[in-house]
């Protein structure tokens, strides 16, 4: 029986937030910040993939700007919806203070900003290397195919975040329910990217 590596990766990526919530007393916003960090890192590596394809095909950057602008617009929309969600569910939350607390939170005597941020970047780089560079996908994948897949996954994520945010406008659920919805949404996003 063959194991689907994308499913294994999605499950492995869900472990850190689950452990954070139940063992390390992370709040919902801490977990949201973790996923946003992963989303931003994956966007950075998407631009590196774009660069590799463009260099291999000797294409002009202006041909690909529409994809880049659309991807960044979708991410900005997701960030805005997350901000609205946090304002609805936890209106007392000071975003800047929480970001600082997220980066300076200590576990085993080490601020997680020094551990978690490089870890997420390293995992992103490993995926870029093993899933894109080593199989030489920049030689076989078109820019349109690469971005089509990415934009579909971002639209799915935006739709999920929008539905969760819209629901939170009318009914505020306990954080554990939002955590489950967040894990399901982000796992679906990861399986499509």
How much is the mean pLDDT over the chain? 87
Question: Quick check: 46 and 150 in contact, CB under 8 A?
Answer: yes
**CB of 149 closer than 8 Å to CB of 192:** yes
The whole-model pTM stands at: 0.86
Alpha carbon of 49 to those of 137, 151, 153, 156: distances in Å? 9, 14, 16, 21
pLDDT computed for residue 108 by the predictor: 66
Tokens 């801490």, residue located: 30
Q: Which residues of 78-114 are buried (b: 16+ CB within 10 A; e: fewer)?
A: beebbebbbebbeeeeeeeebeeebeebeeeeeebbe
Q: CB burial class (10 A; 0-12, 13-18, 19+) of residue 60?
A: exposed
Instruction: Say what the pLDDT of residue 29 is.
Output: 87
- How many other CB atoms are found less than 10 A from the CB of residue 18? 14
Spatial contact of 42 and 193, defined as CB atoms under 8 Å apart: yes
Mean pLDDT of 68-89: 94
Cα gap 74→78, rounded to integer Å: 6
Q: Does residue 190 register a pLDDT over 70?
A: yes
Q: What is the pLDDT of residue 81?
A: 96
Could you read off the pLDDT of 25-37 as tens digits, one per residue? 888 888 898 889 9
Q: What does the block give as tokens for 140?
A: 């076989």
pLDDT at 114 over 80: no
Question: Do 89 and 172 meet the contact criterion of CB atoms below 8 Å apart?
Answer: yes
Is the pLDDT reported for residue 1 higher than 60? no
Q: Out of 4-18, 63-77, 81-95, pick the least confident.
A: 4-18
Residue 68 near residue 50 (C-beta atoms within 8 A): yes
Q: Any idea where the domains of the chain sit in the sequence? A: 5-192
Mean pLDDT across 153-168: 93
């Amino acid at each position: 029986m063959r194991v689907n590596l994308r499913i294994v990766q999605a499950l492995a990526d869900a472990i850190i937030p689950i452990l954070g919530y139940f063992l390390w007393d992370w709040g919902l916003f801490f977990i949201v910040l973790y996923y946003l960090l992963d989303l931003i890192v994956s966007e950075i590596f998407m631009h590196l993939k774009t660069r590799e394809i463009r260099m291999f095909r000797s294409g002009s950057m202006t041909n690909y700007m529409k994809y880049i602008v659309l991807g960044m617009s979708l991410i900005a929309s997701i960030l805005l919806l997350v901000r609205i969600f946090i304002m609805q569910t936890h209106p007392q939350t000071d975003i800047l203070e929480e970001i600082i607390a997220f980066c300076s939170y200590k576990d085993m005597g080490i601020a997680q900003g020094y551990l978690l941020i490089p870890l997420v970047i390293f995992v992103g780089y490993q995926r870029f290397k093993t899933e894109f560079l080593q199989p030489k996908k920049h030689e076989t994948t078109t820019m349109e195919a690469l971005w089509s897949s990415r934009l579909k996954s971002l639209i799915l994520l935006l739709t999920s975040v929008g539905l969760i945010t819209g629901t939170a406008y009318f009914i505020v659920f306990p954080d554990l329910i939002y955590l489950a919805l967040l894990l399901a949404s982000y796992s679906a996003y990861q399986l499509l990217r």
